[in-house]
Structure 1
Amino acid sequence: MTKAAQKLKVKKPKKSNKKQRVSKKPKSLWLIKLMMLALLTLLVSIVYMSLFAKTDQKAQTLTVKKGDTYHGLLVNNPWQTSLFSSSFVIKLYLKVYTHASLKEGMYQIPANASLKQVVDILSKGSDMQMIRVQIIEGKNIKDLYHAIKNTDGVVLEVLTPRTDNYSWVDAMKDNKKVAAALGVSAVNGNLEGQFAPNTYFFEQGTSDKKILQKLYDAQQQILDAAWSNRKKSLPYKDKYEALIMASIIEKETGIADERWQVSAVFVNRLGKNMRLQTDPTIIYGLFDRYDGKIYRSNINEKTAYNTYQINGLPPTPISLPSKASIDAAMHPADTKALYFVATGKGGHKFSQTLDGHNRAVAQYRVVMANKQ
């Protein structure tokens, strides 16, 4: 073939790839659709496992206290047992579907309940008619009995009937009845300090005996645990004396960080055969005679509890001590302080010497005078 013929030769058109492109496009769409379907399936699975899936939790009673929130109770909770459960999904669900605040009480949660079921139960309010018994730290046995008697829904089997005027004489009579009912010993006829202060919930119709037994058992468990882990070389003959000390600490300071320092002062004084000289023991020993003030005659009066007049610890606790005060009695701070006095600004000033203490007392008086 000549060069001219080659030039005139018509090139064959290339085969079009249009068919190939058309054939590839549906495959890409299917891949995208498949990925979207997988993503949607994953999202649905996460939502389902977070909110609707049954769990392996046993039936239980869930106690809701004042200040509890849905978020605090349910986010990162035992109902989330799957790797697919999501805190974000739960938070979003709670934000959208829960508006009312939680009501205090006890809620019956069935076995294998999903998180949504728990939310539904909580949002309807407690389905159990509960009674709330609040025992405040530092209150005494008389306050305890009076509180139980005046809580509607409590059946009185042991305590004497409710009266308008409840005296220490009445409380001492109840002490004997309670001790007999619980089968425990009342030192000097007094069960002071033997019940754990806290907020408790009981079913309507619960007896006072059952309530007192629970509070008593709780305090003994706290005391036993603290005693077994106590600091060495403490001046207590037994755990009961430690409980007495805890009750004094409870009355002397309401500041958590000071409990261990107060404990150290009293332990140090006992170690030097110094009298404790603590005002709350005077007040307790006056019983119904206390009118809100301590007089010089009260300080000079020798009662079984007045630590200005007696050596060592009083014969029984003087309040219902908290776990924190019991722990402080078992672990006094490492200090040589022998005195403390209020600053007038909140808290106390601790001193190792009497001169230092007297200066702290003078400063306190100046602060108080300026407030008048």
Structure 2
Amino acid sequence: MRRPLVLSLVAAAVFVAVVAVKDFTESADRPVANAEPVVFEIGRGQGLKDVAFSLREAGVIDEPWWFVLLAWEEGQARKLKSGEYEIPPGVDRRRLLALFASGKVRQHAVTLVEGWTFRQMLAALRAQPALEHRIGSESDAAMLMRTLARPELDPEGRFFPDTYFFTKGTPDVEILKRAYDRMTAVLAAEWARRAPALPYRTLDDALIMASIVEKETARPEERSEVAGVLVRRLRTGMPLQVDPTVIYGLGERYDGNLRREDLKADTPYNTYLHRGLPPAPIAAPGLASLRAALNPAPGDSLYYVARGDGGHQFSRTWDEHRQAVDLYQKARQP
């Protein structure tokens, strides 16, 4: 009786082994269990077994040990890279392993908008949870500029507005370093293509002018014309008399309504009281404003007034300007 029992047990074991091998083989090509994309993170130093069981907890696979065996069979067991991955539905286990071994981790994005102040940029960075936050407030600006090896500079306007992609855990300082390097490179390239005889002594002067142009008009077709007016005022010694610089100088005192008495506030940024450029940029200019500041439109207009439709009326003389002011201010009155 013993021999038939042994044979039965052997047969059963062989059957179980065949079924197991078949199940393992089929599992390699079986799609993951998640019906929607799943964000999954492999921690630094996390082992293959922990990864497999975490995948089961996340609802991605239902047989963690098969995943472990497959990783060894595919030669990927020691090649999984830490980071955050997005697992799409329908991917099979082999492709999932290849994804983890590739290190193609999930990308996040933060956008720094043209015309934003440094404070607004910091707020956008703080609102991005995937970043590692090292800059707590504007009070850390000096530390940031030391990190950039430019401790003598004000941070305002020094960071190029664009969308920056990064992986989870990237320090916010790294985003600002990339934005600073980009602004430095773009400004240098545009400076090399500047129009002749501009009233700028340094690249900083051009950056300051570009920041004013950025805040003065939102219309791309007007930027070079606005820059032309402001450049001609600089050349003739006229005060620039632009509201955005006054507003910037007021800081938190500005409540959204620029009053006549505000134009008398004696700050370094009040271009009604002080001739020439303000001491630093007032916002981050985009490429179009940098190009406008360095290649202003020719002409003889010295004045402009908002028409109320987002554009401006340009005038050559004070009398023409006064007529335009009367026309468009009356048009805006209820």
Residue aligning to 2:33: none
Alignment counterpart, residue 346 of structure 1, candidates 310, 318, 323:
310
Question: What does 1:213-232 align with in structure 2 at a 5 Å threshold?
Answer: 213-232=177-196
Residue aligning to 2:122: 145
Contact 1:341–1:361 (CA<8 Å) still a contact in 2?
yes
Q: CA deviation at 1:331?
A: 0.3
Alignment counterpart, residue 242 of structure 2, candidates 273, 278, 282:
278
Gaps of 5+ in 2: 1-84, 87-94
SS at match of 1:340: strand
Contact 2:217–2:310 (CA<8 Å) still a contact in 1?
no
Residue aligning to 1:267: 231
CA distance in 2, matches of 1:150, 1:288: 21
Residue aligning to 2:110: 133
Q: CA deviation at 1:128?
A: 3.3
Residue aligning to 2:321: 357
SS at match of 1:200: strand
Q: CA deviation at 1:307?
A: 0.3
Superposed CA offset, 1:56-107 (max 9, x none): xxxxxxxxxxxxxxxxxxxxxxxxxxxxxxxxxxxxxxxxxxxxxxxxxx99
CA distance in 2, matches of 1:334, 1:235: 14
CA distance in 2, matches of 1:250, 1:148: 22
CA distance in 1, matches of 2:106, 2:152: 33
Q: CA deviation at 1:345?
A: 2.8
Superposed CA offset, 1:145-203 (max 9, x none): 1111221111023x12xxxxxxxxx42x221011011212443xx21111000111111
Q: Give the AA of the match of 2:268.
A: A
CA distance in 2, matches of 1:186, 1:241: 16
Residue aligning to 2:132: 155
Does residue 320 (structure 1) correspond to residue 302 (structure 2)? The answer is no
Residue aligning to 2:92: none
Structure 1 runs (4+) deviating above 6 angstroms are none
Alignment counterpart, residue 266 of structure 2, candidates 290, 295, 302:
302
Aligned residues: 236
TM-score in terms of structure 2 length: 0.68
Q: Give the AA of the match of 2:240.
A: L
Q: Comparing 272-281 with 207-216, which one deviates more in the overlay?
A: 207-216
SS at match of 1:294: coil
Gaps of 5+ in 1: 1-105, 108-116, 122-126, 161-169
Q: Give the AA of the match of 1:304.
A: P
Contact 2:109–2:165 (CA<8 Å) still a contact in 1?
yes
Residue aligning to 1:334: 298
CA distance in 1, matches of 2:234, 2:119: 28
Question: What does 1:243-262 align with in structure 2 at a 5 Å threshold?
Answer: 243-262=207-226
**Identity of aligned pairs, percent?**
40
Residue aligning to 1:113: none
Larger Cα Rg: Structure 1 or Structure 2?
Answer: 1
Contact 1:137–1:250 (CA<8 Å) still a contact in 2?
yes
Residue aligning to 1:77: none
Does residue 184 (structure 1) correspond to residue 150 (structure 2)? The answer is yes
Question: What does 1:77-116 align with in structure 2 at a 5 Å threshold?
Answer: none
Q: CA deviation at 1:129?
A: 2.4
Q: Give the AA of the match of 1:175.
A: A
CA distance in 2, matches of 1:156, 1:186: 24
